[in-house]
Amino acid sequence: MENPAPSRDDSGIAGPSNQFGSSQVGTVPMSSGSRNPSASPSSSGSSSRFPARDSDPIPSIEHPPAAQAVPPVIFEFGSHGTASEFSVSFTPTSSVFDSTSSYHGSVRTRSQDGVVDPVVDFLHGFHLSSTRSPTPGPSTNGINAAVTAIPASESSASPSPLAYGGGAASTRVPTTPLSGRSIQWSASPSQQLLLPNSAASPDRPSDASGTSDNRHRRPSARNRNPHNVWNEEPPADRFFQASFQEALTYAKSLMAWLVGVLESSNLHLEPDSTIRLLRQQAQELASFQCPPTRTVGFVGDSGVGKSSLLNSLLDYKNFARTSGNGTAVTCVVTEYRYHDEPNFVIEIDRFSEGELRQQISQLVHAYRHNHFHSSEFRDSDDRKHWKDQAKLAHNTFKAMFCDRFSPEFLSSNQSEDNIVNTLLDWAQELGPANVNPREVSPSPEACSELLMRLTSEEQSQQHPPAWPYIKKIRVFLRAYILSKGLVLVDLPGLRDLNTARRAITERYLLECNEIFAVCELKRAITDEGVATVFDLAKQAGLSNVSIICTKADVINPEEDQRDWGGHRAMEIRRLCGSIAQLERELRGLRELADDGTDGEDESPARNDLYRRMEMKRQRIESLELELKQYSIRERTQEVTSRLSRQYQDAIPGGNLRVFGAGNYMYWEHRDARPAERALPLLQLSGILAIRRHCLGLVSESQLRIATKYMQEEIPALLSNIQLWLQSGAGSESAEHKQAVRDTVNALEGHLHRELNGGASRLNNLSRLLIDHFQESIYRRRRIDVWTQDALNAALGWRGMHAQSYAACCRKYGVHTIHPGRLDAQNCNWNQEAMRSMSNGLAEPWANFSSTIQTQLDDICLFLDQTLSSAVPQLDHSQQGLLDSVLPVRQALISRKHLLVGQVEDLCDRFETQLATLRTDALSSLRTAFFGQEMESPYNLAIRETGTGCTVRKQRIIEGALGQNRLLSAVMGKFRDRFGELATTLQDDVKQAVDEHLGVIKGTLDIIRDENVALESERDPEFRERVGDGVRDAMEKMEWVLRVVQGVS
């Protein structure tokens, strides 16, 4: 029998005609091997309260079940007595980013006579996901399901919400219950966690999928979908292993299911009930997300492709845009952060009144100095400097105040203070109306437009630009690269004319975990912006600087042949010659095809001609890819080698990482189909490698956080639920309950004395650290000696040429004389002036840091020992009490690990802050303590013009460095800042201890409070459901913990 002719319904889905009149999806009977969801009840007796499960009984740890094959799904279509059979064979994927059970596999359709059905061409490339519906369906002897066909998404910029009923890209076809589950087609994995509110706990992943392999299962070869960033190869480390990610997702689903169990009684609605608190804790655990832990800064001069690079990494085309007229749009620090929502949120930090006053004062003075003293500038560099500063002031004030501003006002006879006050009043009047602290955008296009308005220098009479008032912008969006706790930051260049924004960038870079200096590949060797970043890294002792060379995909074979010569030029000529020859041959074949006169399109000769043409096209495509790969690889390797030699002294160990990025190539092939064909070019663009490198930065910290979540936080909650169950056990005598209360009261008293008592070591933490700083650092200051050495250095600068001396003042002590020449001389006045102090404190600081680390380790050890010493008090209880206090013991052990881990994190943060403090105190950066003290003398020297200005500049600089006040102020800031850090550490440690002691008290109150016992006894059926549920969860958590231990 012939296969029925395909038809197309209103939705555009091709399929065989049938008695329904269109390609509707029929009932899906499972094969005979399917399990009956209404199987025999479990031994716990929960079948009377729970809907029947469609899962296996809980496996034992000793005998875990083997991986289970999913039975094929049979679709029956009927048309005039015929039926087409549609079967799907699929296995669970190991996608680490998919929080639902998802499958890929082969699709076969055939009619009853075995002829392949045309519907296969439509169904190839779909992604099958099995999700639990919020409300469980009734138990049935057979399993009924409905299948929704959703075409593959045209964009995979973010997970498709279609499998969850969200989004407006497609109309959902109604589904029928499937014992709490429905089978759906979707285009891409979803990151949203499904929160099943059903009695049957979620099935854990099979052991077959819990392997150490971190690679994703590849889709079918017939997959015609474009590239999906959420399925990219993750970093090859423990956190991204498929088994660990599956365990994490499964643990969250267990907590979500537990929320449903705790909500199955109205007790959770009572404001003072313990169940309400336990349900809230379970909900928080179900909503667990790894917090942002690593920050990556991107810094570079305007026009190097920074915005385009960020667009590619975020996988949002034209999101952070460059103005069409060339206007800079990255003058504001912009953070990109993750949130699991479909919209886009922008938060704005404004400059304070004091910060605005400082900027306005500097700009007013620059404009007036250039206006009144331009005729006195003898040096062309001086003239350019003041002209640029005056232009910056004019443009900034014009942007802020529009028609209200006039240059004549700045050059009027009023005093500078009056002008500054007037402008500040205007700023207070116009600024708040110009900037909203929080904006929500529904789409990437709308968010991009808003970002453009906030960060662009473009202006209009109706909407004056907001950037002069904005200090920082945070953008929250759903992007794969951000989804594991990464924060990307777009920073203004370090050579920005705006002093305030340049200072913000400098300070921000000190806090970044990774810094990318961005430049164009062709200009990477001579890029001044990159050199400035490495100068800062060298001064601050930073080793986390890498380089990204944009426009790496711009190749010119003729230029490469001229530049390279030798064997590389020969290889380029060979490839270009082969391509040219094949193109000539292809043109000849096309001419034959066009001149064909046989009129038979399907003749053997013409088919052979088409075959040969296709082979030529494929060969040309292959050689063009080979040419691109060779050219990009050779050029990138050459630039990398030269950059490594150039900056090897600036990076400790000389381990400089250089990445090439081809944004045009990435977007040219980003949506090409199929993804497998586009993948080599996407990889060649370098974007995937950069994205993978960035994700790898969060691995260790997120592994620690996620492990703590599964090993400590979840068991602590389950222990509290067990205590709630025990409190309602009516079989316990009053004497037994009193003995338990006495035991836990003694335990609480012991912890309070050791951790919160007047003699606790924690009370003296900051005093101990500050005293050690005073002894090791502050009392070793030698102000007189250091000041004399600084003055001697300044006297040595008198021999400089007047122009070079003026340039050093103008650039706040950092200048290169004769750049690019063999006799080039790098000047860093701050570094020379403070060398004696820096050298004198280098060794004491190293010893001090080592001692501080030991003291912090002692604090963590003290907490561990104190909490550990409480456990034996429970173990030594009367024999009859051991079972009652066992959950307390488990909760206490978990709480100990959580508290010690949190304090360890606080100590790690303190040590990081100490590293920044060392940079502030002992480095020559302009924003460091010494640079801040020299800011005013440099500004005074810069303003000196006319005859004799060099001598006056020298007196100003030497006068500042020759006074003890300057270095005394530096050491005072050093001392005060350390005191602030030590005090903050003690406050944070005490707060953490108080919070965890509060949690322990709440745990013990479950035993001590008679109201809790009454609450537990009020609803016996609910109590039994909770008991079954917590036992179920604890058994299934054993698999999670086994996986975590294997990975960790």
Between the alpha carbon of residue 933 and those of residues 358, 812, 937, 970, the distances in Å are 16, 11, 8, 7
Mean pLDDT of 524-551: 92
To the nearest whole number, what is the mean pLDDT of the chain? 79
Is pLDDT of 682 > 70? yes
Is pLDDT of 12 > 80? no
Instruction: Retrieve residue 846's tokens.
Output: 């190293």
Q: What is the pLDDT of residue 417?
A: 92
| pLDDT tens digits, 410-448 | 999 899 999 999 999 998 888 766 678 999 999 999 999
Query: Of 1-10, 232-241, 864-873, 1003-1012, which gets the smallest average pLDDT?
Result: 1-10
In a domain, 396, yes or no: yes
C-alpha atoms less than 13 angstroms from C-alpha of 293 in its C-beta half-sphere? 21
In a domain, 114, yes or no: yes
CA distance linking residue 365 with residue 382, whole number of Å: 15
Is pLDDT of 859 > 80? yes
pLDDT bucket at 454, cuts 50 / 70 / 90: confident
Per DSSP, which regions of 419-498 are E strands? 438-441, 470-477, 486-491
- Long-range contact set of residues 83-90: C-beta below 8 Å, sequence gap at least 24: 83/111, 83/112, 84/3, 84/4, 84/16, 84/109, 84/110, 84/111, 84/112, 84/117, 84/119, 85/109, 85/110, 85/111, 85/112, 86/117, 86/119, 86/123, 88/128, 90/128
| pLDDT tens digits, 590-625 | 988 887 655 556 788 888 889 999 999 999 999 999
CB atoms within 10 A of CB 169: 14
Is pLDDT of 922 > 90? yes
> In sequence order, what are the residues at sequence separation of 6 or more whose Cβ sits closer than 8 angstroms to the Cβ of residue 676?
221, 223
Q: What is the pLDDT of residue 251?
A: 97
User: What is the end-to-end Cα distance of the chain in Å, rounded?
Assistant: 60
β-strand partners of 128: 103, 185
Is pLDDT of 658 > 90? yes
More confident residue, 150 or 821: 821
Tell me which amino acid residue 593 is: A
CA distance linking residue 329 with residue 438, whole number of Å: 19
CB atoms within 10 A of CB 520: 17
| pLDDT tens digits, 242-268 | 999 999 999 999 999 999 999 999 999
Angle at 634 between CA 629 and CA 638, to 5 degrees: 150
Q: What is the pLDDT of residue 30?
A: 35
Q: What is the pLDDT of residue 434?
A: 63
In a domain, 676, yes or no: no
CA 70 to chain centre: 35
In a domain, 968, yes or no: yes
| pLDDT tens digits, 728-738 | 766 667 777 77
Is pLDDT of 812 > 60? yes
> In sequence order, what are the residues at sequence separation of 6 or more whose Cβ sits closer than 8 angstroms to the Cβ of residue 523?
none
Domain that holds residue 193: 1-233
In a domain, 982, yes or no: yes
CA distance linking residue 125 with residue 221, whole number of Å: 9
Mean pLDDT of 661-669: 95
Is pLDDT of 170 > 50? no
Angle at 486 between CA 481 and CA 489, to 5 degrees: 95
| pLDDT tens digits, 488-521 | 999 988 888 888 889 999 999 999 999 999 999 9
pLDDT bucket at 532, cuts 50 / 70 / 90: very high
In a domain, 193, yes or no: yes
| pLDDT tens digits, 574-593 | 999 999 999 999 999 998 88
CA distance linking residue 312 with residue 553, whole number of Å: 14
Quick one: 224 and 358 in the same domain?
Answer: no
For residues 384-401, b (16+ Cβ closer than 10 Å) or e, as one string?
ebbeebbebbbebbbbbb
8-state DSSP, 497: S
- Are 698 and 237 spatial neighbours (Cβ–Cβ below 8 Å)? no
pLDDT bucket at 217, cuts 50 / 70 / 90: very low
Is pLDDT of 681 > 50? yes
CA dihedral for 932, 937, 940, 941, sign (positive or negative): negative
pLDDT bucket at 174, cuts 50 / 70 / 90: very low
* % of the chain at pLDDT higher than 70: 75
In a domain, 321, yes or no: no
Give the β-pairing of 82-92 and 101-111. antiparallel
Q: What is the pLDDT of residue 822?
A: 74
Query: Of 67-71, 579-583, 620-624, 845-849, which gets the smallest average pLDDT?
Result: 67-71
| pLDDT tens digits, 925-975 | 999 999 999 999 999 999 898 889 999 999 999 999 999 999 999 999 999
More confident residue, 137 or 710: 710
Instruction: Retrieve residue 514's tokens.
Output: 């990774």
For residues 289-314, b (16+ Cβ closer than 10 Å) or e, as one string?
ebebbbbbbbbbbbebbbbbbbbbbb
The pair phi, psi for residue 962, each rounded to 5°, is: -85, 0
Instruction: Retrieve residue 934's tokens.
Output: 């020299």
Number of domains within the chain: 3
Tell me which amino acid residue 859 is: I
Q: What is the pLDDT of residue 788?
A: 97
In 3D space, the residue among 126, 221, 150, 88 whose CA is nearest the CA of residue 674 turns out to be 221
| pLDDT tens digits, 95-152 | 333 333 333 343 433 333 333 333 333 333 333 333 333 333 333 333 233 223 333 3
pLDDT bucket at 726, cuts 50 / 70 / 90: confident
Instruction: Retrieve residue 685's tokens.
Output: 């663009």
pLDDT bucket at 206, cuts 50 / 70 / 90: low
> In sequence order, what are the residues at sequence separation of 6 or more whose Cβ sits closer than 8 angstroms to the Cβ of residue 394?
367, 407, 410
pLDDT bucket at 462, cuts 50 / 70 / 90: low
Q: What is the pLDDT of residue 890?
A: 86
In a domain, 5, yes or no: yes
